[in-house]
Amino acid sequence: MNETINGRGISPVRYVSQIADSDENEKTINHATDTLVYALGGLGEIGKNMYCYEHDDEIIIVDCGVMFPEDDLLGVDYVIPDYSYLVKNQAKIKALIITHGHEDHIGGIPFFLQSVRLKEIYAPRFAKALIEKKLEEHRMLRSCKIIEIDSDSRVRTKYFNIGFFDTVHSIPDSLGVLINTPNGRIVETGDFKFDMTPVGRNSDYQKMAYIGQVGVALLMSDSTNSSVPGSSISEKKVAQAILEQMRKTPGRLLVSTFASNVLRLNQILEAAVACGRKVAVFGRSMENICEIGRKMGVINIPDSSFITGNDLNTLPANQICIVCTGSQGEPMAALSRIANGTHRWIKILPGDTVLFSSNPIPGNDVSVGGVINQLTRVGANVVTNSPLTSFHTTGHAPQEEQKLMLNLIKPKFFMPNHGEYKMLVQHCETAQETGVPADRCFICANGDIVVLRNEECFIANERIQTDAIYVDGNDASGLSTSVIKDRKILAENGLVAVIVTIDSRYNKILCRPSIVSRGFVFIKDNQTLLKEAELVVYEALKRKMQQRTTFGDLKNCIRSSLEPFLYKRTNRNPIVIPVILNQKAAIAEIQSKTGARRTRKES
């Protein structure tokens, strides 16, 4: 169980390894001379990446992502970081720098711009196009200037000198970031892997090695695959496997993959053209990525190779390739609708083959399995990725590639990021294998402040308040946790409304309360229970109204009498909503008295 030490929620083990035997005064931040590093999102979770670097009156932000909600966050569209600290200090913000164009790194930008005035966003070429499309959809395209950067670009402020280096990921134009500060150099890798035969631009090994030779105080590195041993397979191998499957499939081939994996999408389209197939693309995100990829020259497929839904029935089955979203079993994605027979254009035919060029994200196994079962039930031949087929490879570095990054950069201190807590711990163990001392590895949470002072690092005894903000629709103000709690109660236990009619003039109940329930119990089968509940509320209100009382007191009386009764009888806690109706004559009397008091005050 975690304990709170000096106001910081950290475990005793972590406290001993990182803070013990130190003078607490040394952990106090000198805001004029120290460089501060902290995350508002991305630590202890996969998503909403946002890392901040602060020195005196300047703040540099790297990435601004969203996290997609779990199933228990009912009605929530996105989860974003709490921007309160940055709103309060927005005069200090000098730049927002984007490492690449995935949603967990750029998806929060429209919400951030609702809260903070920002002059410039620096983004690599493909990410810039995706951000412009996103801001156009939110009607915010003119709210901020977006400046294109590459590995040769430089961003300079009074205290920060920022450079970049090429990395390989599952999207083009992915960059790592070198941040020169008055107290030492920081490297933030962004999402990366090492691929010796990549599709597209390769990692800049020479620049990374040079940065390591010059000296790096702190390395912040992607931890997503820190528990995966070995190295990843090359995208070229995946391309070959997809081409072979395309050639040997006799009928229609439906391929589902991550829409954000632009390089994979291009490989699928190129394989289809090489096998003489026409391509139909379905799914809004897939269509957007395909359109932007073609504009940017990442996808080089002629117009003549694309067909629409109307053309599907005009071609032989062996000349058709359908590319669609839904590789994670999302209920409203194209592949799920195809499996359920509700898609407008596509029905599974005997002889169709469905290829999953992806692996289920942890937590999505059940939904993916459901889609696969349904596709098989309606007659499709389903092919999934396995070590024998190689239809998918990760975009994140496994352990051996993480070790290569650590050996190239040679950091004095190490802070794993972009990962759940277990991933951060495992990445620290990997760093120690490469020679980083255990007491120089920091496992941080969102809001923890790592202080860089004269090439040395420590975790401060201060924190920045960070919370997850739940977004329903496009409102960046978010939903309160009480709203989420109420939605969970409604989903699990339902609602009970208690309607009571009174005459406030005589403090009298005019008739027995009436109870209406939704999602709690089936009314026809539980009439006796509801009648008993009405009687419980009636007796409690009669006792309460023998004394002087208020409408608030009556509502509390209804809840306090009904909730224990319902739980005792059903073991469920529905939301109880009291509705108190006052007689017309009583309301008129109250209004006349209120009007008279107001007249006296005005005179």
pLDDT tops 80 at residue 380? yes
Q: pLDDT of 187-236, one tens digit each?
A: 999 999 999 999 889 999 999 999 999 999 999 999 999 999 999 999 99
Confidence of residue 74 (pLDDT cuts 50, 70, 90): low
Provide mean pLDDT across the span 580-596.
69
Please tell me which residue, 352 or 332, carries the higher pLDDT value: 352
Say if residue 70 is exposed, middle or buried (CB neighbours under 10 Å; 0-12, 13-18, 19+): exposed
- Inter-helix orientation angle 284-296/262-274, to 10°: 80
Whether pLDDT at 245 is above 60: yes
Delimit the domains of the chain by residue range. 30-230+395-467, 235-383, 483-602
222 tagged catalytic: yes
User: How does pLDDT run across 88-146, given as a tens digit for each residue?
Assistant: 999 999 999 999 999 999 999 999 999 999 989 999 999 999 999 999 988 898 889 99
Angle between helices 262-274 and 235-248 (to 10 degrees): 40
Rounded Cα distance, 297 and 75, in Å: 37
CATH architecture of the domain covering 483-602: Roll (3.10)
C-alpha to C-alpha distance for 226 and 418, rounded to whole angstroms: 10
Choice among 396, 418, 427, 448 that is catalytic = 396
- 464: Cβ contacts below 8 Å, ≥ 6 apart: 38, 40, 85, 447, 449
Q: Structurally, what CATH architecture does the domain formed by 30-230+395-467 represent?
A: 4-Layer Sandwich (3.60)
Over residues 396-443, the pLDDT tens digits come to 999 999 999 999 999 999 999 999 999 999 999 999 999 999 999 999
Residue-wise pLDDT tens digits, 466-514: 888 888 766 666 665 667 777 777 888 888 999 998 888 888 888 889 8
Read off the pLDDT of each residue in 520-546 and give the average, rounded to a whole number: 85
| Model pLDDT for residues 259-291, shown as the tens digit of each residue | 989 999 999 999 999 999 999 999 999 999 999
Band (pLDDT 50/70/90 cuts) for residue 364 is confident
Listing DSSP states for 28-78 in one string gives S--TTT-EEEEEEESBSBSS--EEEEEETTEEEEE----BPPPTTSTT--E
Is the predicted pLDDT of residue 589 greater than 70, yes or no?
no
In whole numbers, what is the pLDDT of the chain averaged over residues? 88
Which architecture characterizes domain 235-383 according to CATH?
3-Layer(aba) Sandwich (3.40)
Query: Which residue in the list 63, 173, 191, 222 is annotated as catalytic?
Result: 222
Q: Is the pTM of this model over 0.75?
A: yes
| Domains 30-230+395-467 and 483-602 agree in fold | no
| 396 among known catalytic residues | yes
pLDDT of residue 470: 83
CA diameter of the chain:
93
CA 530/CA 384 separation, integer angstroms: 52
568-583 pLDDT, tens per residue? 888 888 889 999 888 7
